[in-house]
Structure 1
Amino acid sequence: MTTATPTTTAGAQVPTPRRRSRLGDRLTAVRAVPMLPAGILLVVFMLGPILYSLYLAFTDSAIRGEGASDTSFVGFTNFTDAFTDADFWNSVVLTLVFTLISAVIGQNVLGMLLALLMERANRLMTFTVTSIVIAAWILPEVVAGYLLYTFFADGGSLNTLLTSVGLPGQDLLFSAPIIAVSFANIWRGAAFSMLVYSAALSSVPGDVYESAALDGAGPVRRFVSVTIPLLRPAIATNLMLTTLQTLSVFGLIFIMTGGGPARQSQTLPLYMYEQAFSYGQLGYGTAVALLLLLIGALASVAYLRLLPEEDKR
C-alpha cells in the first residue's frame, strides 16, 4: 500500500510552518504586563540596593560627621585605606581561618561522617541523631550563640565536664576565641552537610559497591575509589554553599565574643559592622562588604572548577 504525497504545481511555494520557541510565542507587551509587578519588586529590593551599595563604596558617606552632611565622591580611597589597614588584614586572615576550620573541614567532614553512619544505622538511631543535629541547625543564631557561650564560658558546661574527670578547665573564649567560634559554627551547621551527603549517598547504585567488593576492595578503598568520585558534584556544591554561608556569619561570633578579645575573633563581617555603625563610616564599611563579596565570588569560582565537565553544562 502506497501513501500519496501532496504535489504542488511548478513555481508554487509551500508555506513552511512557523517554529515555536521553547517558551511559546514571542513575548509581547500584553504578555509582559503580568510580569511587571515582579520586575518592579526585583529592581526596587535587589537591583536598587546593589547599585546604592556600589555608590556608597566610592563615597565618604557617614552616619555622623562631615560625611553625613556633605557626601562626596572619593574614588578608590576606601579600598586603599582598607588595604593599608592592619586591622583589615587581621580580619581577612581570621575570616579565612574561621571558614577553613568550620566550613571546609569541620562541617563537611562531620556531615559526611554522619551521613555514612546514618546509612548503616537502624531507623530509631537515624531518627534520634537526625533530630538532634537538625535541632541545632534550626535554632536562631542568637539563641545558638548564647548556648555556645554558656558552654565555653569559664564556669560553663565544658569546664564542668573537664573538672569532673580531673582535667584542668579551659577558657577558650579568651585564650583561643577563633577556635571556640569555629567549633560553635560546626555544631550549628553540620546538619546541612549531613542532609546533602545523605541525599547524594542514597542515589549511588548498590551494585557499584557490590562490584567493588567482588574485586577485593575494602571499606576504605570503596570510599576513596567509589564514593568520593560519585559524590564529587555534591561535595563541590556543598563546599561552595557552606563557605558562602560561613563567610557571612555575624550573629554567632558577635554574641559569643563580640570580635574580641583584642580583635582575636573579629572576622570581616564584624570588622565591617564596627566601621560602618560603631565608627559611622558607611562608605568605608560598604567597601569592606564589597571586598568580602569578592572573596566569596573567588571561592565560588574555585569550587565550580571541581565539578565534572558534564555538570557545568
Structure 2
Amino acid sequence: MLPSWVLLLVFFFVPILLTFYFAFTNLSLTGASSAATQFVGFRNFASMFADPTFRISVLKTIIFLIFSAVIGQQVLGLLLAILMNERNRVFRSVIGVLVLAGWVTPEIVVAFIFFAFFSNNGTFDMILGWFHIKAIAWLYTFPMVSVVVANIWHGTAFSMLVYQAALGDVPKEILESAEIDGAGRFQRLFRVTLPVIKGSIATNMVLITLQTLGLFTLIYSLTGGGPGNKTETLPIYMYQQAFSDYQLGYGTAISLILLVIGIIASFVYMRMLKIEM
C-alpha cells in the first residue's frame, strides 16, 4: 500500500493543504507578492464578498446549476431511462447511441457544435427560418439559455445510465402488485419506483452538481462568460482573477467557496431525500 499512499499524499493531500494555505495569502504570478508572498488572513474573502461581480457570479452559478443539472440532466436522464426500460431493443440501441454521443464528445468540441448551432444565422436560426420566424442572436440575446442547453445535451447520458441501472434493481413483484391494486403509471412511478431508487437519485444529484459547479471549458469556449457577465459563473470568475489578473491567492479563495457550495448542496440533497450518511 505504500506506493499508493505516497501518490495520494503527493497528488491529493498536499495540493489540498496548499489550496487552503494560498487562499489566505496574497500570492500572485507577477509583482512583489510573487517573490515575497505574505499571509493576509481573511482579506481575500472580505474583498470577495464586497465585490458585486462575485455576487453576480454566485447567482449565475446557482441558476446554471439548477436549470442545467438539477432540473435538466436529472429529469431528462430519468425520462430517457424510463423510456429505454420500456421500449424494444432497437429503440434502446438507437437512443442510447444518440445520447451517449453527447457525453463522450469533449467539452471543447461541444462548445464549437453549439456555437455553430446558436450563432447568428446558425443552424437553429435556419430551422426557425423554415417557419418564417425571425433570426435571433442566441449567444448574445439568451446566452445563459444557450450554455444550459449545451450542458444538458453534453451531460444527460450520465444520469440516464445511472437511472437505467437503478430501474433494473426495482423489484418487478412490487410494481406488479401495485398495478393489480389499481395504481396507474404515474402512481407507480412516484409511489413505488422513485422511493426505491432514492439512493441513486441522491448519488446522481451529488455527482452532477459537483461536475456542473466546476464546469469551465464549455462555458468559456462558448461565451467566455459574456456578453458582459451574463454567463460568468464562479469557475470563469476564478480563472479571470487567478490567470488574467494574476491574483492566485484571491482565485484560490474563490475555489474554496465553490467547495463550500458543493458541500452544502450535497447535504441539502441528502436531507431532502432522507438519506442516512
TM-score range, shorter chain: over 0.9
Same amino acid, percent of matched pairs: 47
TM-superposition CA deviations, 1:36-65 (whole Å, max 9, x none):
222111111111111111111111010112
Partner in structure 2 of residue 293 of structure 1: 259
> Structure 2 CA distance, aligned partners of 1:308 and 1:282?
39
Structure showing the higher helix proportion among its residues: 2
Runs of 4+ more than 6 Å apart: none
Distance apart, 1:183 and its partner CA: 0.7
Partner in structure 2 of residue 53 of structure 1: 19
Matched to 1:140, the amino acid is P
One of 46, 61, 69 as aligned partner of 1:95: 61
Where do residues 1-313 of structure 1 align in structure 2 (5 Å cutoff)?
A: 35-308=1-274, 312=276
**Given that residues 61 and 72 in structure 1 are in contact (C-alpha distance below 8 angstroms), is that contact kept between their aligned partners in structure 2?**
yes
Q: Which moved more, 1:270-279 or 1:231-240?
A: 231-240
Partner in structure 2 of residue 31 of structure 1: none
Distance apart, 1:165 and its partner CA: 1.6
**Given that residues 268 and 292 in structure 1 are in contact (C-alpha distance below 8 angstroms), is that contact kept between their aligned partners in structure 2?**
yes
**Given that residues 236 and 306 in structure 1 are in contact (C-alpha distance below 8 angstroms), is that contact kept between their aligned partners in structure 2?**
no
Root mean square deviation of aligned Cα = 1.1
Partner in structure 2 of residue 28 of structure 1: none
> Structure 2 CA distance, aligned partners of 1:198 and 1:173?
34
Distance apart, 1:307 and its partner CA: 4.6
Partner in structure 2 of residue 10 of structure 1: none
Partner in structure 2 of residue 8 of structure 1: none
Q: How many residues align?
A: 277
Taking structure 2 as the reference length, the TM-score comes to 0.97
Alignment partner of 1:168: what SS? coil
Structure label with greater radius of gyration? 1
**Uncovered stretches (5+) of structure 2, i.e. residues with no partner:** none
**Uncovered stretches (5+) of structure 1, i.e. residues with no partner:** 1-34
> Structure 1 CA distance, aligned partners of 2:185 and 2:79?
14
Distance apart, 1:308 and its partner CA: 4.5
Taking structure 1 as the reference length, the TM-score comes to 0.86
Alignment partner of 1:166: what SS? coil
Matched to 2:9, the amino acid is V
